[in-house]
Homo-oligomer: A and B are copies of this chain.
Amino acid sequence: MTTQLIYAQNKKITAEMELVAKDEGLAPEFVRQMVADGTVVIPANNGRSFHPVGIGQNMRTKTNANLGTSADELSPDEEILKLKAAVEAGADAIMDLSTGGDIPAIRREIIKNAAVPVGTVPMYQTACENMVQEKRLEDISAEDFFSVIEQHGREGVDFITVHCGVTREVIKRVENEGRLLDIVSRGGALLSKWMKYGGQENPLYEQYDRLLEIAREFDMTLSLGDGLRPGCLADATDRAQVQETIILGELAERARKAGVQVMIEGPGHMPLDQIEANIILMKRLTHNTPFYVLGPLVTDIAPGYDHITAAIGGAIAARAGADFLCVVTPAEHLRLPTVDDIRQGVIAARIAAHSADICKGVKGAMDRDNKMARARKTFDWDTQIKTSIYPPHAAEVRASSKPDDDSVCTMCSSLCAYKHGSVA
């Protein structure tokens, strides 16, 4: 057993690289080179078999949907429905972030049902299991963190978020900064609290080589979490955030040297005029490690519509170089997402990703838009529906309001500009 990265470094083109090359319309050798350089990852646990995706430079921008129970909403069946809805709506990957019920059982069920890469945040399970057992957070041992991570690898998880950059040095910088919202990453918050109790360094940082060994054994891609991401616009791009990124960049280098695939996670909440600078900084500080972004949400005041705030930020981020967009649903900041929330979130994220791919020059991206334009010109409604980002919804809206002349729609009826605007 070895990793995609080690194969690539040894000039071996794997079946996974072949599939990624085919999906992206690129040469397999080109994909191999990028995997070897670490500018592309192919998250695929070596104990699982499924159709993998490439994430990184020159790839189509990918999207990930977060699923999973909470202590308040813990129906495993519902999470399987969310998984299916996410994949049906076009998500390229999912993360099981369950924090309620029998977490390992739910995860196994999700992995069994997922035809896409599956990620997790092992820290959640560590925290929940101990809290459920009436142990206090400070009773968790460093051993507990690693044993859960190994369990996830053994069960087939393809990528894990690990908050290795939440070091004492970084936390000190948060204290000095005077943030409005301090730490808003769940993993980062719990870890920093644990570190504070014991006066200890972050074990995922201190024993990083041990983490790398586990990751390498299963070819589990590390997604180095941004525990210090800003949780509101006012906290964006501060010294704590940038300090963590510097450390994550160093850890990414060490991962690649150890043959472990690695991504970097990024913010968060951010005024839209800071996004491009952030992506440039992230990419440079991490030597073009594939960049996985949550949002950025470009305003704090839109609970109920954060799929839209994230689509605005995500489109700008992806255009500037972000490779992987984490879906934000309309439920963000209000409740655990429902099945429909997940669907709406995935579609919004895919719109952002595709809009950016047109600018990135991703192969075939613009062709689809041109196909839609031609279908509009020729009143070819079948093609318009089929070419749309989510055909079932476009078809439903179209069917809800029937024009007299079915070549047009009820917006303009006979005044349809496509009918009158031809200069030929």
A189 contacts B421, CB within 8 Å?
Answer: yes
Chain B nearest CB from A327 CB (Å) reads 13
CA A127 – CA B393 in complex, angstroms? Answer: 33
CA A131 – CA B415 in complex, angstroms? Answer: 10
B335 contacts A302, CB within 8 Å?
Answer: no
Chain B nearest CB from A346 CB (Å) reads 11
Q: Which residues of B contact A417 (CB under 8 A)?
A: 183-186, 188-189, 231
Interface residue? A51 (CB, 8 A): no
CA A332 – CA B420 in complex, angstroms? Answer: 18
A404 contacts B312, CB within 8 Å?
Answer: no
Q: Which residues of B contact A402 (CB under 8 A)?
A: 72
CA A298 – CA B409 in complex, angstroms? Answer: 22
Chain B nearest CB from A423 CB (Å) reads 5
B414 contacts A71, CB within 8 Å?
Answer: yes
B421 contacts A369, CB within 8 Å?
Answer: no
B421 contacts A384, CB within 8 Å?
Answer: no
Number of copies: 2
Interface residue? A354 (CB, 8 A): yes
Q: Which of B71, B182, B347, B369 contacts A234 (CB 8 A)?
A: B369
B398 contacts A272, CB within 8 Å?
Answer: no
Given contacts A305-B347, A311-B311, A390-B304, A359 and B271 within 8 Å (CB-CB): yes
Interface residue? A64 (CB, 8 A): no
CA A309 – CA B312 in complex, angstroms? Answer: 9
Given contacts A305-B389, A415-B124, A423-B182, A359 and B272 within 8 Å (CB-CB): yes
Number of interface residues of A (CB under 8 A): 107
Interface residue? A348 (CB, 8 A): yes
A370 contacts B304, CB within 8 Å?
Answer: no
Stretch at the interface among A5-13, A205-213, A371-379: A371-379
Closest B-chain residue to A72, C-beta based? Answer: B410
Interface residue? A33 (CB, 8 A): no
Interface residue? A278 (CB, 8 A): no
B398 contacts A334, CB within 8 Å?
Answer: yes
Chain B nearest CB from A177 CB (Å) reads 9
Q: Quick one: which of A32-90 are within 8 Å of B by CB?
A: 70-73
A393 contacts B72, CB within 8 Å?
Answer: no
Chain B nearest CB from A156 CB (Å) reads 24
CA A387 – CA B299 in complex, angstroms? Answer: 12
Interface residue? A316 (CB, 8 A): yes
Interface residue? A400 (CB, 8 A): yes
Interface residue? A319 (CB, 8 A): yes
Given contacts A233-B366, A352-B312, A423-B192, A411 and B70 within 8 Å (CB-CB): yes
B421 contacts A183, CB within 8 Å?
Answer: yes
CA A331 – CA B398 in complex, angstroms? Answer: 9
Can you list, as one digit per residue, whether each of A263-302 has a CB less than 8 Å from chain B (1) or not (0)? 0000000011100000000000000000000000011111
Chain B nearest CB from A233 CB (Å) reads 5
CA A285 – CA B358 in complex, angstroms? Answer: 27
Extra contacts besides A99-B413, A180-B373, A333-B411 (12): CB < 8 Å: A70-B415, A71-B413, A131-B414, A186-B417, A233-B373, A272-B356, A300-B370, A303-B388, A304-B397, A308-B311, A308-B348, A309-B355
Q: Enumerate the 6 nearest inter-chain pairs by beta-carbon distance, A residue then B residue, closest first.
A: A189-B421, A183-B421, A232-B373, A335-B401, A71-B413, A72-B410
